[in-house]
Amino acid sequence: MVKKLVKYDFKSFFRLLFPVQMIILGIALINRLIQLFEVRDSSAYSWIFTSSIVLLVIACIVCMVMTVILSVVRFYQGLYSSEGYLSHTLPVTPSQHIFAKLSVSLIFAAGTVLTIFVAICIATFGEVNIELFKAAGYLLGKGFDKIGFQMILYMLEILVYAVLWISNVLMIFYFCLSVGQLAPRKKILLAFGVLFGLYTITQIIGTAGIIIAVIAPEWFQNLYDVIAEFAEAHRYLFSHLILSGGALLQLLEAAVFFLISKTIMKKKLNLT
Amino acid sequence: MSELLRCDGLCKNYGKKVALDHISLSVENGKIIGLLGPNGAGKTTLIKIINGLLTPTSGGVMINGMTPSVETKKLVSYLPDVNYLYHWMTVEQIVSMFSEFYEDFRTELAYEMLGRLGIDKKAKLKTLSKGNKEKMSLILVMSRNALLYVLDEPIAGVDPATRDYIITTIINNYNPQASVLISTHLISDIEDVLDDVIFIKDGRIVLHNTVDEIREEHHMSVDELFREVFKW
C-alpha cells in the first residue's frame, strides 16, 4: 500500500516541482550561453550576465522554498482538507500515509539538491567547472590518503544526518498540522501556534543551559575538560560519536513526532 | 439477514454542542435505508463516525462486527458531501487509483457508466462541471462491490435530471447482499426506493421503521410524516 501511496503522492509533487526544476536548468543553460558570447568591457553584457546569475540564484531559492512548502501543503491537503475524505477512507493505516508523504518529500528534496548541483555545473561549465571538480577530487583524495576508510564513514554519517535532519524538520511540520486539525475552526492558526510553542520551548531550554553555565561555570569547565580529554585520546571515535549521536537524536525526535501524529490521525481525526 | 452496522450509545460533542446524543441503531444487509433529518440534525457526523473520519465522544460503532479500521474501509463505500476527489487528476487516473486501492472495484462498470455520460477519460477532474463531478464521485462509489454503501447527501444541490440519474445509478449498481445508507433531506425524490427510514433530530433518533409500516401506521407518505415530525 505504501508503494501505491508513494506513486500518487509522487505524481502530485511532480506536476508542480518538475517544471520549476526544469526552469532552473533552463536558466543555467541560458547563463552558460551568455558566457559563451562574452563581450568584454560592455556594460550591456555585464548587466545581462549579472541578471542571469541573479535569476538563477532566485530560481534556486524559490525551488528550495517551494519544496518545503509543497511538502507541508500536500500533507495538509491530502490528509486534513477535503481530500482527506478520500485518503482516510482508503484501506491504509495512518502510519503508511505519513511514511508515504515523508518519503516523497525526501525524494523531491534530493531532486532539488541534485537540480541545483547540475545547474551550477551547467553555469560553470568549462574551465571553472573543471577546476572545481579538480579541487574537490584533490581534497577527497587527500582525505582518503590521510584517514582511509574513516573518510567513507564520515561521508556516510553526514549523509544519514542530513536525511534524518530533513525528516525531523518535516515531521515537526506534520506534528503541528496534526495538532492544528484538532481545532474546530482556524486549524492552520493553531498549527502555527504549536510551531511557535515548540520554538519557544527550544529557546527556553537553550537559555536555561546558558544560565546554568553562568551560575555554575566550574561544572561546565569540568565537563568540557572531560570531553576535550576524550576527544584528544580518541579523535576519530569522538567525531563519529558526535555525528552518529546527532543523527540518532534527530531520529528519536522525528520518531516521537511521527508517533504523536499517527496517534492523532488514528484516534482524534477531526475532518470537519 | 445479518447485522452490517451497529451503533451503541453513540455520542459526539463539539465543545458544548451535542451533535449526537446516545444514538443506537442496527442495519441489516440487503436494504436501502434513508437517514433523514433537517440540516444540522447530526446525519453527517454519524456518517463520518461510521467511516472513521471522526472519533465519537463515547459509545461505539461496529461494521460487520469490527470497529472502524483498515478492514472496515475495505467493506464500506463512502460518498461524502464534499468534493473529495484529487482535482489535479484525470478521470482515467482516479479510476485507476480506485482500482488499485479497492480490491472490490469494478473498473469495466465504472468505464461503462462514464461512457454513457460521455465523460472523457482524459479530462481533468477540475474541468468537469459540478453535476459531472457529482456523477463521477457516485460512479466511483457505486462501482465498488462493497458490503455497505454510505452516501451523504448524494442528491443535494443538483438539478432534477441529475437527481434521477443518481437515484437510478444507486438502484442499478449496488450489491444486492449489501445495504445502502443514504442521508438526505430531499425525501420525496428518494422515498420510493427506500426500505427503511431513520429520522434523526437534534442528534437523536426519533423514528426507525420500514417505509411500509410507516405508510400503514400513519396513513401518510414518508415525506408527509417527515414534514409532520420536523414541523417548526
Structural contact between residues B143 and B98, judged by C-beta atoms closer than 8 angstroms: yes
Structural contact between residues A241 and A249, judged by C-beta atoms closer than 8 angstroms: no
CB within 8 Å of B170: residues ≥ 6 apart:
B32, B138, B142, B149, B151, B154, B180, B182, B193
CATH of the domain at B60: 3.40.50.300
Query: Into how many domains does chain B fold?
Result: 1
Contacting residues of A for B93, CB less than 8 Å apart: 11
How far B115 CA sits from the closest chain A CA (Å)?
A: 23
Adjacent-strand bridge partners of B181: B33, B150
Determine the Cα–Cα distance for residues A114 and A22; give it in Å rounded to an integer.
12
Do the chains contact at A1 and B52, CB–CB below 8 Å?
no
Comparing CA positions, the residue from A29, A114, A27 lying closest to residue A67 is A114
Any idea where the domains of chain A sit in the sequence?
1-125, 146-272
ipTM of the complex: 0.84
How far A175 CA sits from the closest chain B CA (Å)?
A: 18
The mean of the pLDDT values for chain A is: 89
How do residues A132-175 score in pLDDT, each as one tens digit?
A: 788 888 888 887 888 777 888 888 999 999 999 999 999 999 99
Interface A-B, measured as beta-carbon pairs within 8 A, has a size of 62
Mean pLDDT of A36-40: 77
Handedness of CA A8, A1, B177, B196 (dihedral sign): negative
Do the chains contact at B101 and A270, CB–CB below 8 Å?
no
Handedness of CA B167, B168, B169, B170 (dihedral sign): positive
Mean pLDDT of A127-136: 78
Report pLDDT for B1: 63
Do the chains contact at B73 and A90, CB–CB below 8 Å?
yes
How do residues B158-194 score in pLDDT, each as one tens digit?
A: 778 778 877 887 787 777 788 999 998 888 888 888 8
Percentage of the residues of chain A whose pLDDT score is greater than 70: 99
How far A15 CA sits from the closest chain B CA (Å)?
A: 9
Adjacent-strand bridge partners of B8: B60
Contacting residues of B for A18, CB less than 8 Å apart: none
Contacting residues of A for B54, CB less than 8 Å apart: 269-271
Range of the domain at B193: 3-229
Q: How does pLDDT run along chain B (232 residues), one tens digit per residue?
A: 678 899 999 999 888 888 899 999 998 888 899 998 888 889 999 999 999 888 888 999 999 989 888 999 999 999 998 888 888 899 999 999 999 999 999 999 889 888 888 888 888 988 888 888 888 888 899 889 899 999 998 887 777 877 887 788 778 777 778 899 999 888 888 888 888 999 998 899 988 888 888 888 888 888 888 887 777 6
Nearest CA in chain B to A7: B97
Contacting residues of B for A15, CB less than 8 Å apart: 88
Contacting residues of A for B14, CB less than 8 Å apart: 184
Could you tell me the three cell numbers for A194? 504549536
Report pLDDT for A46: 83
Determine the Cα–Cα distance for residues A160 and A157; give it in Å rounded to an integer.
5
Determine the Cα–Cα distance for residues A134 and A48; give it in Å rounded to an integer.
29
Inform me whether the pLDDT recorded for A45 exceeds 70: yes
Structural contact between residues B95 and B111, judged by C-beta atoms closer than 8 angstroms: yes
Report pLDDT for B39: 84
Mutation target to probe the B interface, by most B beta carbons within 10 A, among A85, A93, A268 is: A85
> What letter does residue B89 receive in the DSSP assignment?
S
Structural contact between residues A182 and B55, judged by C-beta atoms closer than 8 angstroms: no
Structural contact between residues B198 and B34, judged by C-beta atoms closer than 8 angstroms: yes
Report the phi/psi class of residue B38: left, alpha or beta, with left for phi > 0 and alpha for psi in -120 to 50: beta
Mean pLDDT of A165-188: 92
Chain B contact for A185 (CB, 8 A cutoff):
no
Adjacent-strand bridge partners of B140: none
Mean pLDDT of A221-227: 85
Inform me whether the pLDDT recorded for A178 exceeds 90: yes
Report pLDDT for A172: 95
How far A212 CA sits from the closest chain B CA (Å)?
A: 43
Residue owning grid cell 463539539: B14
Adjacent-strand bridge partners of B208: B198
Structural contact between residues B101 and B142, judged by C-beta atoms closer than 8 angstroms: no
